[in-house]
Structure 1
Amino acid sequence: MTAHIRPASAGRAYKAPPQLTEADSRTWITRGANFVVAMSKVEPGAVLSRADNPDEYMVLLGDVGATIRAGGETIEAAPETLTIVPPGPSEMVATGAGHVVRVLSNRAADLAGKAENAATYADGAAEVAPLIPWPEPPGGFKLRNYRPFDYDKPDTNIRLFRSTNLMINVLTKRTAPRDISKLSPHAHDDFEQASLLLEGDYIHHLRYPWVPDMSQWRPDEHLEIGSPSVTVIPPRVVHTSRNIGDKRSWLIDIFAPPRLDFSRKPGLVLNADEYPMPADA
């Protein structure tokens, strides 16, 4: 048992100043040990580019469409779609006003260093399992665009997509508060979870474990947060979340690397045929 439990981090784009201000866009950056989440409020024509990103990243569009270019390809991505962008140079041009989220690995060191919570990870976060990339897609790296809400299933609100380095769970939008008698408190042994909130209001309930050093004990947290925002939940912290109020809510969970437990369940990862699991999995 480690003597220190890292506190949860929260990036509140709805009330905090942005970490990056560029022409026609403002960007709020929150990081974990293995991932970086960059939420941008864009105007029509805003350009978000990566000169030479070292690995894949994902683009989740909220209420705005975008033209995305990478690897010699160009696609027109509709609102509420998810795009996996290949390594190398890339560019996204907003076709309207709204919110765009880029999810990158910790290899995007320039953005990780600008994160609002960068100091939280100055010690390297040894309690988090390192990011080891999964096998490359057999068809090669390319732009891959998905419409998560086309994958509705009556028995689950989960929509999982993975790449070589990331996994995103695009959850069903909630139109009524979650039943408090059907919450799901749980913890992860050695990986973090980022909960990206694009619509509505939530409470993240967090219970920190007791470590041998009593001076490191923390009381339970009931973190009430609006949107857009990102909350990073550390390993071993028991957590469950619920939406509150009358607003429609939209929560998306982020992991790096992809989760093996989810990936081992047949049919749960919706693009599993494009991204093989490690040979020893």
Structure 2
Amino acid sequence: MYEADDPRSALSSASANAGPASHGAFGQSTYARYYAEEPQESADRAKSWYTRGQNFVVCYSEVEDGAVFERKGQVDEYVLLIHDPNLSATVEAGGESKEVSGYSITMIPPGDSKVTMHGSGVVVRLITTANEDIAGKVSNPDKYPGDHPHVPAFEAWPMPADGYRIRSYSLDVPDEEGRFGKIFRCTTFMVNVFPEQGARDLSKLSPHHHDDFEQCSLALRGWYMHHLRWPWTANLHDWQEDEHEKCAAPSVCVIPPRVIHTSAPSDPQANVLVDIFSPPREDFSDMQGWVLNADDYPRK
């Protein structure tokens, strides 16, 4: 369903057949509009919203200078995304301390860690649902009464040969023809940060589906129309109406597996979207040159 000039048309999964669907739920979508919702947590110098998928929690925070985020006994590696170039942080973990600049993505080791923010703005942390304290804060627990019927049990990817440590990468990477966004991965997440763009040509949308993983789309700027079409099975009770949801920034859309979807950036001036997957996608990892930090994190 991709246009011929869309880099994703070359993916091994682009024309995959999902096969027969089992009777029962396909799961539910989530639309979290942080601009219209109260934060789940208001602490000194930070307001935070928490939204989950099957394997992950998006922790979106508006911070003031000096805000601190500490993790005690973090189960696995997590991600710190600072899209704002005017914000920075000091990250302490695994016996080391590192100054992290704005417009960057940082992988933080499991165990105890501390992030101290410098400046006021927005910071995003991505943490797996294996961390029960974080999973317990989410606004949408009702969407996950049990394991998703089409998402395999979470399995982390191999750790780097030199072990866990603080690894930070600039997002200031030039666009390259044939590469899809700016993709980074670690053992628990794959994150694709799209360049700022204007409104999308509505004659060139890209409806597609994923057989066995969710997609989380985090809007950081502008507004998006998320279009979702649910599969039909022989069981009429599985059928659902199409969804066409307008979400301004900041917001999150979580799309279940097997649901046909496409998202249209719609502000005429500036739209910024971040796609989040947990664990990393194998098809994106198969594409030579797409994962910008592939040398640091072994392929599953």
TM-score (norm 1): 0.95
Q: What CA distance in whole angstroms lies between the structure 1 residues aligned with 2:27 and 2:179?
A: 31
Q: Residue by residue, what CA displacement relative to the aligned partner does 1:86-138 show, whole Å, maximum 9, x if unpaired? A: 11111111101111000111212111121111121122223211211111101
Give 1:152 deviation, angstroms: 2.6
Match of 1:68 in 2: 91
Deviation digits for residues 196-252 of structure 1 (CA, Å, limit 9, x no counterpart): 111110011100111232133111111100111111000000001111123411100
| Match of residue 201 from structure 1 | 223
Gapped regions of structure 2 (runs ≥ 5): 1-20
Distance of 2:138 and 2:296 partners within structure 1 = 31
Give matches, 1:75-154, under 5 Å: 75-154=98-177
Q: Distance in 2 between matches of 1:155 and 1:263?
A: 14
State the AA in 2 paired with 1:179.
Answer: D
Q: Over the residues paired in the alignment, what is the CA RMSD in angstroms?
A: 1.3
What amino acid is the match of 1:44? D
Maintained 8 Å contact 2:47/2:62: yes
Shift of 1:78: 1.7
Aligned to 2:17: none
What is the aligned length?
Answer: 277
Residue number in structure 2 paired with 1:25: 46
For 2:254 and 2:165, the matched residues in 1 are separated by 29
One-letter amino acid matched to 1:238: I
Residue aligning to 2:4: none
Relative to the length of structure 2, the TM-score reads 0.89
Q: Does 2:277 align with 1:248?
A: no
Question: In the alignment, does 2:177 pair up with 1:177?
Answer: no
Of 224, 234, 257, the residue aligned with 1:235 is 257
Q: Is the 8 A contact 1:62 1:98 kept in 2?
A: no
- Cα distance in structure 2, aligned partners of 1:251 and 1:210: 29
Q: How has the CA–CA distance of structure 1 residues 151 and 245 changed in structure 2, closer, same or farther, with 3 Å as cutoff?
A: closer
Which among 56, 65, 68 is matched to residue 44 of structure 1?
Answer: 65
Give the superposition deviation at 1:268: 1.1
Further displaced range: 31-40 or 152-161: 152-161
Q: How does 1:149-168 map to 2 (within 5 A)?
A: 149-168=172-191
Give the fraction of aligned pairs with identical amino acids, expressed as a percent: 43
Moved over 4 A (4+): none
1:186 paired with 2:208, answer yes
Aligned to 1:15: 36
Instruction: State yes or no: 1:210 paired with 2:232.
Output: yes
